[in-house]
């Protein structure tokens, strides 16, 4: 039987612990607060902002959604938030309308408040990359003796996860959408995060493989991952994330874990 790697199930346990911790912090007059900055109402972005707002409400963390009219307003808000003692952490909900401005914008966030780990210079690792580690560990998927393929080299998942795995001396290889993906059939674990729907085909996944789909895109208004549906219909792979509720819920959990930690340190 194929094991379903449900991040939603694991996140439920994490959320319960976090809610208890936040109640304790609020009793000590520490009020965790997350600022989300964005300049787009793309359906995928709006969906994830809403999920974060609901999660924050569930555990008692205030979440502020700031919609910038332009890039200058976004930058100014970051500078204000850096010195605002009431804000524990902030994230820029990507992608920006001007994708070329991403590095410049995220680098403005002070390291102590970079709870999404996007700048690469703060104390927090990438929330999504950390969530994948939590997910695999939570379902007892061992990595030490496995060949791992990372498909996608973006700042949210591929690049930071490759760095994490390399630092842990794991056997990992980085692919991108232009690579020969037929080589994936030689790998035990495939983690994909390109945002290209149906990119990973069934013939590229070997029997007994573990597949983690961390890709997110919108196709005709429907949220899609990287893995083709034929892969999900197979009964000879070891484990796979569900179409919905895989990495995403745990990414939100990690983000709020970082917000809570930041609020304690700043206090």
pLDDT digits (tens, 9 = 90+) for 10-39: 999 999 999 999 999 999 999 999 999 999
Average pLDDT of the chain is: 93
Q: What's residue 128's pLDDT?
A: 92
What's the pLDDT score for residue 216? Answer: 81
Tens-place pLDDT, residues 92-136: 998 899 999 999 999 999 999 999 988 877 789 999 999 999 999
Start and end residues for every CATH 3.40.50.10860 domain found in the chain = 3-122+249-266
Show the DSSP H helices in 60-200 as ranges.
71-82, 102-106, 127-138, 158-167
pLDDT value of position 244: 85
State the pLDDT confidence band at 156, using cuts at 50, 70 and 90. confident
Q: How distant is the alpha carbon of residue 57 from its chain centre?
A: 19
- Structure token digits, residue 244: 């919905």
Chain centroid, CA 44 distance in Å: 13
Q: What is the C-alpha to C-alpha distance for residues 112 and 211, in angstroms, rounded to an integer?
A: 33
pLDDT at 52 over 70: yes
Residue range 3-122+249-266 in CATH 3.30.2040.10: no
Quote the longest CA-to-CA distance of the chain: 56
Average of pLDDT values for 139-147? 95
Label the pairing between strands 171-175 and 147-151. parallel
Average pLDDT over residues 224-230: 92
In which region does residue 223 sit, left (phi positive, over 0), alpha (psi from -120 to 50) or beta (all else)?
beta
Q: What is the pLDDT of residue 177?
A: 80
226-247 exposure pattern, b = at least 16 Cβ within 10 A, e = fewer: bbbeebbeeeebbbbbeeebbb
What DSSP string runs through 28-52?
TT---EEEEEES---HHHHHHHHHH
Q: pLDDT grade, residue 267 (50/70/90)?
A: low
pLDDT of residue 42: 85
Adjacent-strand bridge partners of 210: 189, 239
Q: Where in the chain is the domain with CATH 3.40.50.720?
A: 127-243
Take residue 86 and report the two structure tokens written for it.
Answer: 């009431």
More confident residue, 16 or 42: 16
Protein fold of 127-243: Rossmann fold (3.40.50)
Q: What is the mean pLDDT of residues 41-61?
A: 92
Task: Tell me the average pLDDT across 53-57.
Answer: 97
pTM: 0.90
Contact indicator for 122, 90 with CB cutoff of 8 Å: no
Residues 127, 117 contacting (CB under 8 angstroms): yes
**Looking at residue 221, what is its pLDDT?**
67
Mean pLDDT, residues 179-189 taken together: 97
Percent of the chain with pLDDT over 70: 98
Pairing state between β 210-213 and 189-192: parallel
pLDDT of 218 > 90? The answer is no
| Residue 22 dihedral angles phi and psi, to the nearest 5° | -65, -40
Give CA–CA dist 146/171, Å, rounded. Answer: 7
Q: How many residues does the chain have?
A: 267
């Amino acid at each position: 039987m194929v094991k379903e790697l449900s991040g939603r199930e694991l996140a439920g346990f994490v959320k319960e612990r976090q809610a208890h911790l936040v109640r304790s912090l609020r009793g000590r007059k520490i009020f965790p607060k997350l600022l989300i900055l964005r300049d787009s109402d793309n359906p995928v972005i709006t969906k994830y902002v809403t999920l974060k707002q609901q999660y924050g409400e569930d555990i008692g963390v205030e979440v502020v959604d700031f919609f910038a009219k332009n890039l200058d307003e976004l930058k100014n808000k970051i500078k204000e938030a850096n010195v605002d003692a009431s804000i524990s952490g902030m994230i820029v909900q990507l992608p920006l309308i001007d994708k070329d401005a991403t590095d410049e914008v995220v680098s403005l966030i002070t390291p102590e408040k970079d709870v999404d780990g996007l700048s690469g210079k703060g104390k927090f690792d990438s929330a999504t990359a950390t969530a994948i580690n939590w997910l695999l560990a939570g379902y007892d998927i061992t990595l030490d003796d496995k060949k791992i393929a990372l498909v996608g080299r973006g700042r949210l998942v591929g690049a930071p996860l490759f760095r994490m795995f390399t630092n842990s001396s794991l056997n990992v290889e980085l692919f991108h959408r232009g690579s020969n993906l037929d080589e994936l059939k030689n790998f035990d674990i495939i983690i994909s995060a390109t945002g290209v729907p149906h990119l990973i085909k069934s013939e590229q996944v070997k029997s007994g493989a573990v597949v983690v789909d961390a890709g997110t895109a919108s196709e005709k208004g429907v949220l899609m991952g990287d893995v083709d549906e034929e892969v999900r219909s197979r009964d000879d792979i070891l484990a796979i994330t569900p179409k919905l509720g895989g990495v995403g819920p745990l990414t939100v959990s990690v983000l709020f874990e970082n917000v809570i930690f930041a609020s304690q340190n700043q206090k």
